[in-house]
Structure 1
Amino acid sequence: MERVARMRDTLTVILAGGRGSRLEPLTRDRAKPAVPFGGLYRIIDFVLSNCLNSDMRRLLLLTQYKAQSLDRHINLAWRNYFCRELGEFIDVVPPQQRIAGNWYSGTADAVYQNIYAIEREQPEHIVILAGDHIYKMNYGPMVDHHRKLDADITIGALRVGVDEARQFGVMQTDLDGRVIGFQEKPENPIPTPEDPEFCLASMGIYVFNARFLYEQLCADATRMDSDHDFGKNIIPRAIDSHLVCAFPFLDENRKSDAYWRDVGTIDAYYEATMDLISIDPQLNLYDKHWPVRAFQPMLPPPKFVFGSEGISTRRGTAMDSLVCQGAIISGGSVARSVIGPGVRINSYSSVEDSILFDEVNVGRRSRLRRVIVDKGVSIPPETEIGFDPVADAERGFKVTESGLVVISRGELITPHCPAEPAAVGQAGG
C-alpha cells in the first residue's frame, strides 16, 4: 500500500546541471552527471537505478550545463523503462527561464525556476536528489518515514569523519531524529555526541511536503541576502519553526561499510574507478538484488588476439582489469585498467593503471601509465604518456598533483618516446 501511494503522489526531481569544474577536462564537453564511470556507466546511472529500484517512476531531470550528452544518454538508456500510459515518466527539463531571465544561481533556485513543471504533476511529496553521486539506496523507506512522521523536510544522513565533514552540510539531531542544528560546509564541524570523531552529514537527499516546499522557495526567491541553496538557506531557516528530520543512509551495496562517493575531483574519480578492479571492490556491480542499469551498445564481446606466438612476442592480455564490449586487445597488454567500449589496444603496446573511454585507439608500441583518456582519442604509435609528469605537462596535458595525466576529448597527440625506450618486456602488463 505504501508503495502504491509513493508511486501515485511522489515526484522525484534530480538536479543534473552541475558543471563539475574540478573534473575538467572530462567535463569540458559534458555535464558532470554524464561523465563515464566504470567503463559502461555514466555517473547519472547510479541515482537513476536507485529511483527505478525504489519504484520511483515519476522523474524530472533538471539540466543546465552542456546537457546534450546527458540528454542523448537518457534517450538511449532510460526512456524504455518508463510507461507514460501508466503515469510513469523521465522528463529532461532544460532551463526555461519562465520565472527569471538568469541561469540557476543555486540548488533551490533550480527547483524554484521549474516550479511550474513540478506543480503540474500535483505531487504531495517531492524527493530532491543530486545526479552526480555514486551510491546505492532505496528511497522508499525514507519517503515512507517522512509520511509517517508528517515531517516538513526529511534529510538523508551519512556518518563521516570530522575532517571530511567540512565538505558537507552538517546536522545535529535530538534523540528522536529531529534536526536541531545545520551548518553548510563548516570550518569546525560539530561531531556527534556519541562519537567525537564523526559528524552527521547531509547527503543532499531531501523529501519535502510539496506545499511547504513551494512556500519556502517563493519566500527565498525574494530575499536579496540568499544564495538560493537548500543547504545554505532553506534548511537552516526551517529547523526552528518546522519539523525537519534526519533519515540514516540505508546502503543497498551489501558490504560491511557504507558506500557513498562524490567523485568531484580527478583524483577522487580515478580512485573510485580503480577500486572497481580490486579483488573485492567496495562498490558491488555484480549484485542482482540491486542492479545498476546503463546503456548497452550493440557491440560484439571483447576480443583478445595474438596469443600463440610465445610470451616474449605479441600477446593480447588483460589482467586485473574491466574490459567492455567491442574492445579488441590486439597483441598489446593491459594491467589494472578500465577499458571502455570499442577501445583498441594495438600490438606491443601496454596500458597500466589507466582509464580509457569509448573508442580510444592505442597505437603500436605505445605505453600508458596512470592516464585517463577521453572518448575517441587516438594515441599515435610509439608514444609514452604517464612516465614523465613534467614532459606531459609541457605537451599541454592535464597533470594532477598526484601525477595522474588526463587526455581530453579531441586532443591531437604527436608521437613522443624517450631517446632510449624501455624494452617491451619491461613495459608492464
Structure 2
Amino acid sequence: MSADTLILVLAIDRGAGPDPLTIHRTKAAVPFGGKYRVIDFSLANCLHSGLRQVLVLTQYKSHSLHKHLRDGWSIFNPELREFITPVPPQMRESQEWYAGPVDAIRQNRYLIERNRASQVLVLDGGAVYRMDYAELARAHRESDAQITVAVRATADPGSATQARVTINDEERILGLTEPVMVDRRPDERGTEGDEHLETMGVYLFDKPFLLERLARIERGAISDNDLALDLIAPLTQDHRVCAYRFGQTRGRVTPDRYWSDLASIDDYYQANMALLLAQPPLDLYQPDWTINTYQGQYPPARTVPGAVTGNEGVFVNSMLAAGTVISGGGVNHSILFPRVRVNDGAIVEASILFDGVVVGEGAHLRHCIVEKDIEIPAGERIGFDAKRDRERFTVSREGVVIVSKGATVSEGE
C-alpha cells in the first residue's frame, strides 16, 4: 500500500485562516492543541494509514515548518523507501515560485514521474482531522475512479469554506462550485435533515491521469487558487470523478467525524477550546491513532506556591505542556504550550498561550491568544476593555484578542 501511493502535502502559503498567526509562519506550521502543529494531523493520518512516501511542498516562510519536520518527523526508514521530505520551489523550468496549488504540483512533475507509485494523494496541510486514507484508496479502486475527492456533509451551506459538491446516486461528482458564505442567525441555519457536501482538501488521482492533465496546463493559464475548482471541476463532466464520504463505517477513526480548516481566528480559537470539553469532538487521547509531533526535552509541568503571596498555583480544566510552571497564579479553561510561566497572582482564563509566554505578577488575561515568547507585564489586563484592546491588538469578530509579536506589551521583541 505504501509503495503504491505518493503523497503531496500542500503547505505553500499563509492560507485563508488565522491571519495574525500566519505572519511569521505558514498555516500548516501554526501551533495547535498545546503541543502540535496543524500539519501533524495530516502526517499522522499518513503514518497510521500505512502511507509513508510523503513530499511536503513548502514556500511561504517555511523555516519553522522545515525545522519541525526535521525534528519531529524524521521517523521513516529511507532504506524501505519511506520518507517525509520538504520540497521548496526547485525552479527547474523557470525562476518562478509556486503560483498556486496546481502550479506547485505541476512544477514537481519529475518527482511524480520517477516515483513507482500508481496513484497520488494530494492533501491540504492546513486542516485538522483524522482520516484513514487506506479506506479512501480502497474506495478509489472499487469505483474505478480517475479522481476521488473526500467530501463531508454540513447542515449549513452558508458557512462552507470549501468547494461545494454535487453528486448523483452512484457517488459520482457532477459539479464543484465556489462556497457561498452567508451571515445567519443560529435559528436561520439549515435543518438537521438537510445535507450539503463540501470538499476537505483530500484528493486521490491515478498517477498517469494526473500527469497527462498537468502536461496540458501552462503556467498562468488558470487562476490557481483552489485545487478542486481550478483543476478538478472542469473534469467532472467527461471523466470519472467520484466522492468519498468522510466518516463512513469503514476505517478506524470514524467515531470522530471531525474536520476543521481553521478558516478564521474564531474557528481556530473554538477548535482549540473544544479540546477542553468533557467529550471533545476531536479525541486526542484515542490510543490507536496518536498524533506525532516534536516537543523539546523540557521538565514536567508543575504548580508551585507564589514567592510573595504564598498562594498555591492552580489550574482548572486546562491543558499544560511540558516545562510550564504556574507559580502562585491561576489558569482556567485554557491551553498552555511548553515553557509558559504564570507568575504570582496572575490569572489566565479561556486563553491560548504559545511557547515561552510569561505572564507577569497580577496580570489578567481573558479570551486571548498570545504569540510565543511574549512577556505580559505585571498588572496588565487584556480581554476586558474592548476599545483599548482594539487600539493595541488584533481582535477577532467574536472578541478574541490576539497578542502578536511586536505588540507593545512585549519587552523582549
TM-score by length of 2: 0.91
Deviations 1:125-164 (A, max 9, x none): 0000000100000000111221233311011011112434
Question: Where does 1:20-31 land on structure 2 (aligned, <5 Å)?
Answer: 20=15, 22-31=17-26
Question: Where does 1:58-97 land on structure 2 (aligned, <5 Å)?
Answer: 58-79=53-74, 81-97=75-91
Residue identity in the other structure for 2:97: W
Partner in structure 2 of residue 103 of structure 1: 97
Partner in structure 2 of residue 260 of structure 1: 259
Q: Secondary structure at the match of 2:50?
A: coil
In structure 2, which of residues 318, 321, 327 is the aligned counterpart of residue 321 of structure 1? 318
Q: Secondary structure at the match of 2:244?
A: strand
Question: Where does 1:119-198 land on structure 2 (aligned, <5 Å)?
Answer: 119-164=113-158, 166-185=160-179, 197-198=194-195
Partner in structure 2 of residue 418 of structure 1: none
Q: Secondary structure at the match of 2:271?
A: helix
Deviations 1:87-125 (A, max 9, x none): 100110001222343332322111011112222213210
Residue identity in the other structure for 2:258: Y
Kindly indicate whether the alpha-carbon contact (under 8 Å) linking 2:12 and 2:26 is maintained by their aligned counterparts in 1: yes
Alignment of 1:403 onto 2:399: yes
Partner in structure 2 of residue 296 of structure 1: 295
Residue identity in the other structure for 1:408: S
Partner Cα separation in structure 1 for residue 64 and residue 311 of structure 2: 37
Partner in structure 1 of residue 36 of structure 2: 41
Partner Cα separation in structure 1 for residue 325 and residue 148 of structure 2: 48
Kindly indicate whether the alpha-carbon contact (under 8 Å) linking 1:179 and 1:244 is maintained by their aligned counterparts in 2: yes
Q: CA deviation at 1:67?
A: 0.4
Q: Secondary structure at the match of 1:167?
A: coil
Q: CA deviation at 1:225?
A: 5.0
Kindly indicate whether the alpha-carbon contact (under 8 Å) linking 2:374 and 2:410 is maintained by their aligned counterparts in 1: no
Q: CA deviation at 1:229?
A: 4.2
In structure 1, which of residues 198, 202, 206 is the aligned counterpart of residue 203 of structure 2? 206
Partner Cα separation in structure 1 for residue 247 and residue 78 of structure 2: 30
Deviations 1:223-251 (A, max 9, x none): 73553742223212211221111111137
Partner in structure 2 of residue 12 of structure 1: 7
In structure 2, which of residues 232, 235, 239 is the aligned counterpart of residue 242 of structure 1? 239
Q: CA deviation at 1:77?
A: 0.3
Deviations 1:317-345 (A, max 9, x none): 00010011110000000001001101110
Kindly indicate whether the alpha-carbon contact (under 8 Å) linking 2:160 and 2:198 is maintained by their aligned counterparts in 1: no
Kindly indicate whether the alpha-carbon contact (under 8 Å) linking 1:355 and 1:373 is maintained by their aligned counterparts in 2: yes
Deviations 1:188-241 (A, max 9, x none): 9xxxxxx87221211121110111101111212267355374222321221122
Partner Cα separation in structure 2 for residue 414 and residue 126 of structure 1: 45
Partner in structure 2 of residue 371 of structure 1: 368
Q: 1:196 to 1:382 in 2, by over 3 A?
A: closer
Kindly indicate whether the alpha-carbon contact (under 8 Å) linking 1:126 and 1:210 is maintained by their aligned counterparts in 2: yes
Partner in structure 2 of residue 192 of structure 1: none
Partner Cα separation in structure 1 for residue 105 and residue 267 of structure 2: 28
Q: Secondary structure at the match of 1:276?
A: helix
Partner Cα separation in structure 1 for residue 266 and residue 221 of structure 2: 37
Identity of aligned residues (%): 39
Q: After the TM superposition, which of the residue ranges 382-391 and 99-108 deviates more from structure 2?
A: 99-108
Kindly indicate whether the alpha-carbon contact (under 8 Å) linking 1:153 and 1:207 is maintained by their aligned counterparts in 2: yes
Q: Secondary structure at the match of 2:141?
A: helix
Q: Secondary structure at the match of 2:89?
A: coil
Q: CA RMSD in A?
A: 2.3
Partner in structure 2 of residue 113 of structure 1: 107
Q: Please, which runs of 5 or more residues in structure 1 have no aligned partner?
A: 1-5, 189-194, 416-429
In structure 1, which of residues 330, 336, 342 is the aligned counterpart of residue 333 of structure 2? 336
Q: 1:353 to 1:413 in 2, by over 3 A?
A: same
Partner in structure 2 of residue 277 of structure 1: 276
Deviations 1:280-310 (A, max 9, x none): 111101110111111132011111011899x
Kindly indicate whether the alpha-carbon contact (under 8 Å) linking 1:157 and 1:200 is maintained by their aligned counterparts in 2: yes
Residue identity in the other structure for 1:384: R
Kindly indicate whether the alpha-carbon contact (under 8 Å) linking 2:149 and 2:243 is maintained by their aligned counterparts in 1: yes
Q: Which has the larger radius of gyration?
A: 1
Q: Secondary structure at the match of 1:141?
A: helix
Kindly indicate whether the alpha-carbon contact (under 8 Å) linking 2:33 and 2:272 is maintained by their aligned counterparts in 1: yes
Partner Cα separation in structure 1 for residue 60 and residue 205 of structure 2: 26
Q: 1:364 to 1:162 in 2, by over 3 A?
A: closer
Deviations 1:371-396 (A, max 9, x none): 111110011111111111111222x2
Q: 1:163 to 1:237 in 2, by over 3 A?
A: closer
Alignment of 1:55 onto 2:30: no
